Structure 1
Amino acid sequence: MNAHADAQVSGGRPAEKKRAVKKEYSSNSLTGWANGLLVAVFMLLSLACLYPVLLVIAVSLTDEQAIVTHGYNIIPREFSVYAYRYLFEDATQIFRGYGVSILVTVIGTIGSLLLTSLLAFPLSRRDMPYRNVIAFAVFFTMLFSGGLVPWYLVYNAAGLNNTLLALIVPHLVMPFNVIIMRTFFANTIPVSLIESAKIDGAGEFRIFARIVLPLSLPVMASIGLFQTLAYWNDWFTSSVFISDNHLVSLQYLMYKTIYNIQYLSSGLVDASVAGTASAAIPTETVRMAMAIVGIGPIVFVYPFLQKYFVKGLTVGAVKG
């Protein structure tokens, strides 16, 4: 009986192994199909995001008359770089605008990260007095603001007109960024680590600089990207506070150029004055050329921050 039972057991094991292998194979095949489907979907989404950029590039390199006759095409019907030649007739002003935008973006982003983190870290500490009151004051400014006129009067009274500080200060501390960073600190930085550093004699600034900041690269990269985009794309602040052409940012320079083109093409100008000039303006193609000139440098920022970006948002978005 025992020998017979052993034979049945030994005979049943290969069958069980076959079933397990078959089940694992089917599971792996389903996983492969699912991965392939996800890859295909994300490739289509990537192409959908890339197509408008390619279309803008193609239109900027197309002859203006071909755009009027045939409309937009992903492949230029008549290749022309006249829009870029027209745009760079005053190359000095454009490069100066680039310099202003780059300087403001770099200084503003670094200053914003420093001030935001210095405000968010104390708010994440449970032992900080009145932290809920201060956090509510930060949140309140997300819902209500003083308005455009008081905003202008405050900066004008501070003497910031026609200075680079007028382009930097308005975006230094954003309440939304403070809340994200505070939540990240509260959920990610262990309290025991801070207490251990205090026992070893470290002060608050030493803890912040040597422990908190090195552990906060994901949220720093995410907030840094937000601030970089905010500073780079800001044209409204220049229109309010800057009248000196040497301090105009690139985005506001592009805005003024488009506005002037629209004004010359609107028919409101005397034909004897604007007839020849408006006829030579590549209206559609120069808009696309401006878009390419404006987004050029900022496109190269995201790949360096990509690996930190998603982690910083997902961890910082969890409620503490």
Structure 2
Amino acid sequence: MKDYSTSLARRPLPVGKLIIHFIFIALCAVCVFPFLVIIGTSFQSENDIVRFGYSIIPKNFTWDAYRVILHSPQTLLQSYFVTIATTVVGSIVGMWVTTSYAYAISRKDYRFRSFLAFFIFFTMLFHGGMVPSYILMVKWLGLKNTALALILPYLISGWFVMLMKGFLQTIPEAVIESAKIDGAGELRIFAQIVLPISKPALATLGLFFALQYWNDWWLTLLYVEHDNLMKLQYLLIRVLKNMEYLNSAEAIEYGLVKPGMLVPSLSARMAMCILAAGPMLLVFPLFQKYFVQGLTVGSVKG
């Protein structure tokens, strides 16, 4: 008998598939190239960047940018801790609140589903604005300089609710009805049946929440004045602004920087990108297998 597995393995790929593979390899290279430039530039000196531009391979390898950013490691570690804590807590609570709301408006037998659906959809079209939000958080709720001020504003989003609702509508009603016949309550149905079925959508939703909380610096700027509650993104922005000031003519005039000396602000930008985006780049592959499924399921409903 012929070994068909060996013959199939040795069979050359059709020209069409080779072209498709080449196109995707080229696209991957295009996507990876900027990230390699960021890594290489973060190890360049300021003078080399000004003279030769950005490069993947530094002409003169230096740690100057990282030394400046990591000058106070305790502050950086504290900001990492605050960012990780708010991201984890906000993502978990946000997924629970969003999924609960979406489950309620996805149930056809729920009395107020139309009103709640319109209420959340209205928030997607109109927003109260920054001033009312600030008054609510600071004056009425008294959350200034608290960790809740970094979590509460992002707990629910109209788009996230609608995304989750589209998935939950694909769950057959017979599953819920059979659970009710067996004596299960609404909370038990939601926790033990709906949530396990919704893993792809929850993974996608969790990734969106994590990116939102991790990349946030606006809430820190508005509601936080204490350094021990400063998030990573805001800390890096403040460090960058300080370095840009040190490269200004005013700083040289006041004697803060010697004439001809360049503070590594350009390379520090790249170093900050690595410090800020690195953890999320490691987390994303864990959600990748659920990501597309969570976005597309429920998009077509017969």
Could you state the TM-score of these two structures normalised by the residue count of structure 1?
A: 0.87
SS in structure 1 opposite 2:62?
coil
Residue in 1 aligned with 2:136? 154
Alignment equivalent of 1:293, drawn from 264, 275, 278: 275
Further displaced range: 258-267 or 59-68: 258-267
Aligned partners of 2:17, 2:297: CA distance in 1, in Å?
A: 25
SS in structure 1 opposite 2:198?
helix
Alignment equivalent of 1:170, drawn from 134, 153, 157: 153
Aligned partners of 1:66, 1:226: CA distance in 2, in Å?
A: 38
Residue in 1 aligned with 2:102? 120
Closer/same/farther in 2, CA of residues 32 and 275 from structure 1, 3 Å limit: same
Cα-Cα RMSD: 1.9
Further displaced range: 258-267 or 119-128: 258-267
Closer/same/farther in 2, CA of residues 56 and 114 from structure 1, 3 Å limit: same
Alignment equivalent of 2:168, drawn from 181, 185, 201: 185
SS in structure 2 opposite 1:89?
coil
SS in structure 1 opposite 2:54?
coil
Residue 54 (structure 2) pairs with residue 72 (structure 1): yes
Percent of matched pairs sharing the same residue: 42
TM-superposed CA distance for 1:277, in Å, is 9.4
Aligned partners of 2:285, 2:153: CA distance in 1, in Å?
A: 27
Residue in 1 aligned with 2:86? 104
1:1-320 alignment to 2 at 5 Å?
32-156=14-138, 157-187=140-170, 189-269=171-251, 271-276=253-258, 279-318=261-300
Structure 1 unmatched runs, 5+: 1-24
TM-superposed CA distance for 1:214, in Å, is 0.6
Aligned residues: 292
Comparing both structures, which one devotes a greater share of its residues to helix?
Answer: 1
What amino acid does structure 1 have at the position aligned with 2:154? H
Aligned partners of 2:105, 2:254: CA distance in 1, in Å?
A: 64
SS in structure 2 opposite 1:301?
helix
Equivalent pair of 1:62/1:78 in contact (CA under 8 Å): yes
Could you state the TM-score of these two structures normalised by the residue count of structure 2?
A: 0.92
Structure 2 unmatched runs, 5+: 1-7
Equivalent pair of 1:162/1:241 in contact (CA under 8 Å): yes
Structure with bigger gyration radius: 1
Equivalent pair of 1:83/1:289 in contact (CA under 8 Å): yes
Closer/same/farther in 2, CA of residues 100 and 34 from structure 1, 3 Å limit: same
